[in-house]
Amino acid sequence: MRSRLAELFYKNAERCPDKPAVWCDGKTLSYRELADLVSRYSNLLISLGVEYGDHIAIPMNNSIESAALFFSAADLGVCVVPINASLPFDAIKTAIKAGDVRHIIARRAFFSECEKRGGVEVKGVSICLDREYPGTVPFSTIEKMSDKRPDMAYDVTGNESFILTMTSGSTEKPKPIDISQNNKYERAMAHVRVYSITENDRILAATPLYHSLAERLVILPLLIGASSILLPRFTPEIWLRCVKEQKPTFTIAVSAQLAQIMELLDKEKEIPDFSFRCIVSSSALLETSVKNELIKFLKCEFHEMYGTSEVSTATSICFQKESDKSNSVGRPFDKADICIIKDREGENEYALCKTKEIGEIAVRSGLMCKGYYRQPEKMKEAMFNGYFRTGDLGYLDEDGYLYYCGRKKELIITGAINVYPNDIDSIIGRLPEVEECAAFAYPDERLGEIVAVAIVPKKDNEVDIRKIRAYCAKNLADFQQPHKIFILDSLPKNSMGKLQRRMIYEYIVKLGSINRSL
Amino acid sequence: MDKVKDYIINFIERDYSLPEDTDIMNFNYTESGYVDSISMIHFIVSLEDEFGITFTNEELNDPAIKTIGGLLNVVVEKMAGNEN
Cα separation, A236 vs A243, whole angstroms: 10
Q: Which residue of A has its CA nearest to B11?
A: A109
pLDDT of residue A176: 94
Contact residues, chain A, for B15 at CB < 8 Å: 59, 61, 85, 107, 233
The average confidence (pLDDT) of chain A is: 90
Residue B51: pLDDT band (50, 70, 90) is very high
**How much is the average pLDDT of A75-102?**
91
- pLDDT score recorded for residue B40: 84
Worst-scoring range by mean pLDDT, A51-55, A177-181, A380-384, A510-514?
Answer: A510-514
Mean pLDDT over A383-408 rounds to 91
Is residue A6 packed enough to be buried (19+ CB in 10 Å), middle (13-18) or exposed (0-12)?
buried
Give the span between the Cα atoms of B40 and A314, in whole angstroms: 36
Name the band, by pLDDT with cuts 50, 70 and 90, for residue A518. Answer: very low
State how beta strands A27-30 and A250-254 pair.
Answer: unpaired
The rounded radius of gyration (Å) of the Cα atoms in chain A is 23
The yes-or-no verdict on residue A489 having pLDDT over 50 is: yes
- A:B CB pairs within 8 Å: 59
Structural domain boundaries of chain B?
Answer: 2-83
Minimum-distance CB partner of A473 among B15, B34, B45 = B45
Q: What does the pLDDT read at residue A497? A: 65
Please, which pLDDT band fits residue A515 given cuts at 50, 70 and 90? Answer: very low
Q: Distance, in angstroms, between B84 CA and closest chain A CA?
A: 25
Q: Which residues of A touch B11 (CB under 8 A)?
A: 109
Nearest CA in chain B to A471: B45
| Strongest mean pLDDT among A317-321, A336-340, A434-438, B43-47 | A336-340
3-state DSSP of A157-187: CCCCEEEEECCCCCCCCCCCEEEEHHHHHHH
Q: What confidence score (pLDDT) does residue A210 get?
A: 87
Mean pLDDT confidence for A452-463: 90
Query: What pLDDT, in 10s, does the model give residues A265-282?
Result: 888 888 888 999 999 998
Nearest CA to A89 out of A113, A109, A105, A57 is that of A113
Which amino acid would we find at residue A494? Answer: N
pLDDT, residue A423, reads 84
Distance CA A8, CA A182 (A): 13
Grade residue B4 by pLDDT with cuts at 50, 70 and 90. Answer: very high
Q: Predicted confidence band at A301 (pLDDT cuts at 50, 70, 90)?
A: very high
What class does CATH assign to B2-83? Answer: mainly alpha
The string of pLDDT tens digits covering residues A100-129 is 999 999 999 999 989 988 888 899 999 999
CA distances from A33 to A27, A145, A149 (A): 12, 14, 13
According to the model, what pLDDT value does residue A270 have? Answer: 81
Instruction: Choose from A111, A233, A475 for mutation: most chain B CBs within 10 A.
Output: A233
pLDDT digit string (tens) for A149-164?
999 999 999 999 999 9
The pLDDT confidence band at residue A41, using thresholds 50, 70 and 90, is very high
Q: What is the pLDDT of residue A513?
A: 56
Q: What is the largest CA-CA distance in chain A?
A: 74
Q: Pairing relation of β-strands A202-205 and A227-230?
A: parallel
Q: Which residues pair with A416 in a beta bridge?
A: none
- A138 interfacial to chain B (CB closer than 8 Å): no
The question of ipTM being above 0.90 is answered as no
Task: For B45, name the nearest residue in chain A, comparing CA atoms only.
Answer: A470
User: What is the tens place of the pLDDT at every residue in B58-83?
Assistant: 898 899 999 999 999 999 999 988 77
Report all structural domains of chain A as residue ranges with CATH numbers, in order of start: 412-516 (3.30.300.30)
Distance CA A18, CA A257 (A): 32
Q: How much helix, strand and coil, in percent to the nearest 5, is found in chain B?
A: 65, 0, 35
In this structure, the dihedral spanned by the alpha carbons of residues A18, A24, A26 and A32, taken in order and rounded to 10 degrees, is: -20
- Dihedral through CA A48, CA A52, CA A55, CA A57, nearest 10? 40
Interface contact A240, partner B, CB < 8 A: no
Mean pLDDT on A45-70: 97
Contacts of B13 in chain A (CB under 8 A): 107, 109, 130
Across A53-57, A131-135, A346-350, B49-53, least confident range:
A346-350
Higher pLDDT, A226 or A392: A226
Please state, in angstroms and as integers, the Cα–Cα distance from residue A390 to each residue in A305, A409, A511, following that order: 15, 9, 34
Confidence of residue A172 (pLDDT cuts 50, 70, 90): low
Contact B39 A130 (CB under 8 A): no
